[in-house]
Structure 1
Amino acid sequence: MRTRLLAATLTALAAVSLAACSSSGSGAGSDKATTAAGAPTSAAAAAASSGSPASPGSTPAAPAPSGTGAADGATGAPAGSPPGASAPGPDASAPAKPAPPADAGLPPKPDADATGKVVAALNAIDPAIVGGKPDQAVEQARKQCQSMYQFPKDTAKLVELADRNFTSPDHPQGFGPDTAAKINDALRATLCPSPR
């Protein structure tokens, strides 16, 4: 009984595979393939349920050719895809990692007490850094904190960015690398959160 059921199932599978093979080249023949594939499957199911052999001398069907089935063998694209489509990459189902927000690492505007600490630390290095404009100095400090968040281990880049961010009328090109390094240390101690 199991042999008859197996033979009927394999015959039905072969008929479906052959129908799919013959219709893979044209979109118009897909309805015919469905109809043709449906008839043997029904006959095989009827033969399996009645216990009679599907056909005398039937042999197990050979596996379907590699070009048929869920994907087109030439391109790897899913069946029914437009010509020239290719298979999605291995990471296509994995969600893309979202980009960090534009304000990542930017600390909130400090309150009066925190602002006083930042201004005092910068004035201790050189009063010209603040230059009588504490709000501007704090905004420059916040931007430098964001750079520290983005490049936590690149000391040379952070010195370069601090030298570029902190300027004054007397120092339009910055205060130099030594002062820039001190600015970074002062900001780490007063305003910038610890790096990732």
Structure 2
Amino acid sequence: MRTRLLAATLTALAAVSLAACSSSGSSSGKATAAAGSPTTAAATPSDASTPGSTGSTGSTASTSGTAGTPGTPAPSATGTADGATGAPAPGTDGSAPAKPAPPADAGLPAKPDADVTGKVVAALKAIDPAIVGDKPDQVVEQARKQCQSMYQFPKDKAKLIELADQHFTSPDHPQGFGPDTAAKINDALRATLCPPPR
């Protein structure tokens, strides 16, 4: 009975000396030495028989560890939030998702059959026979390219006139047939070959 009482007293004394250690290092060192020297044998059984002493010391350490690092979870939580925000879902940052680039042949009509080819050639010859010359197949290919330009720039008349002057040339008109003829070419192609605008 006395041994347990002595062990409890030593445990309380050890706890007080540990608490005093934070305020005064030298005095707590002396108190710990004084408390530990007379009854070393008694301290050993108390540690073995009363796990509460170790538990109290362990709880003090765990409490101090918890109190010493209250901010540790907060940065990790913030890091998680930042990580989640670092990879925003589409549309959360206000920008629309990028549209895929149209294919290279977008707006390019299929090669026309003989009937459509005849209509295209006739319409261009009606504007100026020099547009077709003696190369109707080549003119039809240029007409298909002009249709693709109309698909790409449906409302830019000036651009389409400029492109028609580049597509349709002849030995006598190496720079094209001029803006008036180019506009007529565009109208003829819309009526015969180019798909209607969407």
Q: Residue 103 of structure 2 corresponds to which residue in structure 1?
A: 101
| Alignment equivalent of 2:188, drawn from 186, 189, 193 | 186
1:52-93 Cα deviation digits (max 9, x unpaired): xxxxxxxxxxxx7xxx25223xxxxx17xxxxxx82466468
Instruction: Return the alpha-carbon distance in structure 1 between the equivalents of residues 117 and 88 of structure 2.
Output: 50
| Paired-residue identity, % | 80
| Alignment equivalent of 2:73, drawn from 4, 7, 20 | 20
1:108-164 Cα deviation digits (max 9, x unpaired): 000011000000000000111011101100000000000000111111111111011
Matched, 1:71 2:81: yes
Task: Assess, with a 3 A threshold, how the Cα gap between structure 1 residues 89 and 158 changes in structure 2: closer, same or farther.
Answer: farther
Where 1:70 maps in the other structure, the secondary structure is: helix
Instruction: Return the alpha-carbon distance in structure 1 between the equivalents of residues 73 and 100 of structure 2.
Output: 41
> Displacement of 1:195 after TM fit?
1.2
Greater displacement, 158-167 / 86-95? 86-95
Instruction: Return the alpha-carbon distance in structure 2 between the equivalents of residues 193 and 132 of structure 1.
Output: 26
Structure 2 unaligned spans of 5+: 1-66
Report the TM-score when normalising by structure 1. 0.58
Write the mapping of 1:41-60 to structure 2, written as runs, cut at 5 A: none
Task: Assess, with a 3 A threshold, how the Cα gap between structure 1 residues 89 and 174 changes in structure 2: closer, same or farther.
Answer: farther
Aligned letter for 1:20?
A: P
RMSD: 2.9
Normalized per residue, which structure has more helix?
A: 2
Larger radius of gyration: 2
Instruction: Return the alpha-carbon distance in structure 2 between the equivalents of residues 90 and 155 of structure 1.
Output: 40
Aligned letter for 1:21?
A: A
> Displacement of 1:18 after TM fit?
4.6
Structure 1 segments of 4 or more deviating over 4 A? 92-95
Q: Residue 129 of structure 1 corresponds to which residue in structure 2?
A: 131
Report the TM-score when normalising by structure 2. 0.58
Q: Residue 119 of structure 1 corresponds to which residue in structure 2?
A: 121
Aligned letter for 1:153?
A: K
